[in-house]
Amino acid sequence: MFRMWCDRLLWLAVAAAVPALALAVGPQAAGDRSADQWVEATLAAMTLDEKVGQLLAPGFSGVYTSTDSETFDALAELVREHHVGGFVVFGGAEPTPDVLLNPSWPTVTLGQPLATASLANRLQALSKVPLLNSADFETGPGFRLRGATTFPRAMAFGAAGDEHLAYEAGRVTASESRALGVQLDFAPVVDVNNNPRNPVINTRSFGEDPAMVGKLASAMVRGMQEGGVLATLKHFPGHGDTAIDSHVGLPVIDKPRDAIERLELVPFRLAIEAGAGAVMTAHMALPQIDAAPNTPATLSRPVVTALLRDRMAFDGLIVTDSMGMAGVTKLYDPGEAAVRAVQAGNDIVLHSPDVPAAFRAIKAAIEGGEIVSSQIDASVRRILRAKARVGLHNERLVDLAKLPDAVGTRVHQAVAEEVSRQSITLLKDDRQHVPLTAPREAAVLYLSVLDYPSNWGIAAPSRTLVPQLEERWPNVTAIELSDRTSKSELDLVRSMASRYDAIVAGVFVRTASASGRMDLAEPLVSLLRDLAQVTAQRDAPYVCVLFGNPYVAVHLEDVPALMLTYDLYDLAETSAIRALAGDAPIGGRLPIELPGLAPRGSGLTRSARSPTLSPGPR
């Protein structure tokens, strides 16, 4: 009870403190006379090369980069020679050859906040026009940069169902983004995930109810933009009903336009009404809106201009999804793709795999009359207005000395913890064993069940859950299983399971971009089902906690207790163990349907257990 009271006091402090931390840049800035004058004067003084450059946003890694390095020279050339309008911030990457014997070698790393802000400042100083820097901070800046605040995936917000939390998450994201030198965030995702086999959206979506998605997205938009960052709705006109990952191919949504209007476009309309400053277009084909072959929405004028710009009356920035994704690169070279994107009506061509080629091709298309100059002027004017709206015409540099006071703070982390706590969903508890009805001295078998063991470089699964489980039940045997576990090893687990007083399985299944995977191997599913029978004979507690893809639950209908977190890594693991131990209440509601298992809105309620009954740390 004392812990719960402390948590409540901390949450009240968060609600009071976050607005004071935000850098308030409201929508009024767009109509400021001095800002308008700056926009028009800057546009009038631009050469064609400078206008073309404003349409391009290449990327940089937020890792330490010396000014005296080839990497910095290449970035500086993009600013000086190609006049790019801004950069998109990524984390880091470890180069690896294709001949490694160890396929589990991680390649993705997180960047560093100070390195990101320092590099952004140096590039800003080189640019004639302020740079509008962007980032894919879907779960907060910690999604790309180590030490910054990381929120749960959007579906966890859907399970929590709290608009205020979505708003505060937007405010926190904006506050940290501005401290890092980022003014445009590629969030929130407003795709309606109504396809259980969607390999790329999944938990990135708030859920499958369009109105709920729109409501939470709108709250997050308001928080972000009142915090001084332009929010981006993605992926237009809706990437939720696909079964192909656009990072590896071109999805096709063969739906009538009126069906898309009734479902996919609903949250876009709501969030546009909330004032979203940008929309990102998707690499997917919609043949009943644009019948031209090999035409993703990104490159489609009927989608980008006729539907979004004209019919939906959206006058903010329209940004392509990354032009380095296979949904485009398999069809067109970088120059032609960039021209088609601009012709379609996009204002910003994001992350072209060959920026100089894109620059040359767009310029040639303008000079050749394939793109009218008035369209370019309109796009550049929107880009300059966006820069003025976030105050870049007055100040473009960030204070590196103040960054540690603004990024990754405990106040910000408390917001993320509250989202995670409220999202935990107890889908079923047939034997009434949650919170876990096992005494502190019980022998507990913990199974860390992975989809596959590779690419866990950012955070190893169960690294938080195991030690916290051991704090509460010291007699824990922990075993890791994956698709590489042999049949004999799985049989050994079956045979030894009856020796334990309780079994907990943490099931980790990712839907990572370009992985092409989203399932748990059948031998692992069979083991988890069999353990239900083993524990039923003694009425022993048996709980499966699902991390990541919640749709895996439909294959575990025999498991007596299922708990969903909708996320991976440390925060989700901490929230799960607190719920399992009875240290925190449970009240999340399923924001999607689990076909054949549970309808949307399902979820059991549990109160926190009295400290005298809890097997918590001593």
Boundary residue ending a domain (410, 437, 468): 410
618 has a pLDDT exceeding 60: no
Q: Among the three residues 410, 432, 459, which one is the final residue of a domain in this structure? A: 410
Q: Is residue 69 pLDDT above 90, yes or no?
A: yes
Sign of the C-alpha dihedral, residues 79, 81, 84, 87?
A: negative
Number of domains in the chain: 2
pLDDT at 163: 98
Tokens 């399992």 locate to 580
Mean pLDDT over each residue of the chain, to the nearest integer = 93
Are 288 and 259 contained in the same domain?
A: yes
Query: Which pLDDT score is estimated for 94?
Result: 86
| C-alpha dihedral sign at 131, 136, 142, 144 | negative
Percent residues over pLDDT 70 in the chain = 93
Q: Let me know if residue 238 belongs to a domain.
A: yes
Q: Is residue 211 part of a domain?
A: yes
Q: What is the pLDDT of residue 612?
A: 59
Q: Which of 27-31, 95-99, 445-449 has the lowest mean pLDDT?
A: 27-31
Of 3-7, 254-258, 380-384, 459-463, where does the model show the most confidence? 380-384
Q: pLDDT digits over 34-55, tens only?
A: 999 999 999 999 999 999 999 9
pLDDT at 459: 84
**221 lies in some domain:** yes
Tell me which residue range forms the domain holding 16: 2-21+135-410
**Higher per-residue pLDDT: 294 or 307:** 307
Instruction: Please check the confidence at residue 611 and state whether its pLDDT lies above 80.
Output: no
| DSSP category for residue 231 | E
Clarify whether residues 379 and 471 are in a common domain. Answer: no
Over residues 65-78, mean pLDDT: 98
Is the same domain home to 452 and 355?
A: no
Task: Place 390 in a pLDDT band, splitting at 50, 70 and 90.
Answer: very high
Read off the CATH number of the domain in which 401 is found: 3.20.20.300
Considering 235, 239, 247, 351, which one is annotated as catalytic? Answer: 247
**Is 80 exceeded by the pLDDT of residue 22?**
no
Q: What single string gives the DSSP state of each residue in 465-506?
A: HHHHHHHH-S-EEEEEE-TT--HHHHHHHHHHGGG-SEEEEE
Let me know if residue 29 belongs to a domain: no
Q: Which two tokens stand for residue 607?
A: 């109160």
Q: How far apart are CA 336 and CA 470, in angstroms?
A: 57
437 shares a domain with 403:
no
The answer to whether position 93 is within a domain reads no
- Kindly report the three-state secondary structure assignment for every residue of 419-464: HHHHHCEEEEECCCCCCCCCCCCCCEEEEEEECCCCCCCCCCCCCC
pLDDT tens digit string along 505-537? 999 999 876 666 899 999 999 999 999 999 999
Cis amide leading into 435 (omega within 30): yes
Q: Which of 321, 347, 429, 583 is catalytic?
A: 321
Q: How confident is the model at residue 615 (pLDDT cuts 50, 70, 90)?
A: confident
In this prediction, residue 7 carries a pLDDT of 44
Q: What does the pLDDT average to over 325-342? A: 96
pLDDT tier at 258, thresholds 50, 70, 90: very high
State the SS3 of 266-320. HHHHHHHHCCCCEEEECCCECCCCCCCCCCEHHHCHHHHHHHHHHHCCCCCEEEE
Is 393 noted as a catalytic residue in this protein?
Answer: no
CB neighbour burial string for 89-128, b if at least 16 within 10 angstroms, e if fewer? bbbbeeeeeeeeeeeeeeeeebbbbbbbbbbbebbbeebe
468 and 375, same domain (yes or no)? no
Q: Report which secondary-structure segment, H or E, holds 377.
A: helix 373-389
Quick one: pLDDT at residue 19?
36
Give the pLDDT band (50/70/90) at residue 186: very high
Q: What is the pLDDT of residues 3-21, one digit of tens each?
A: 443 444 344 444 444 333 3
Say whether 32 is catalytic.
Answer: no
Is 130 inside a domain boundary? no
Task: Give the pLDDT score at 613.
Answer: 64
Q: Please indicate, yes or no, whether residues 403 and 439 belong to a single structural domain of this protein.
A: no
Pick the range with the lowest mean pLDDT from 27-31, 87-91, 542-546, 609-613: 27-31
Within this chain, do residues 465 and 392 fall inside the same structural domain, yes or no? Answer: no
pLDDT in tens, 213-245: 999 999 999 999 999 999 999 999 999 998 888
Q: Could you tell me the CATH number of the domain that includes residue 525?
A: 3.40.50.1700
Grade residue 413 by pLDDT with cuts at 50, 70 and 90.
Answer: very high
User: 239 and 379: one domain?
Assistant: yes
Domain end point (choices 349, 377, 410): 410
Report yes or no on 94 lying in a domain: no
- The secondary element (H helix, E strand) that includes residue 564 is strand 561-564
Residue 513 lies in a domain: yes
On whether both 469 and 403 belong to a single domain, the answer is: no
- Collapsing DSSP states into helix, strand and coil, what is residue 135? strand
Do 496 and 518 lie in one domain? The reply is yes
**How far apart, in whole angstroms, are the C-alpha atoms of residue 186 and residue 156?**
18
Q: Are residues 406 and 487 in the same domain?
A: no
Note whether 440 and 348 are same-domain residues.
no
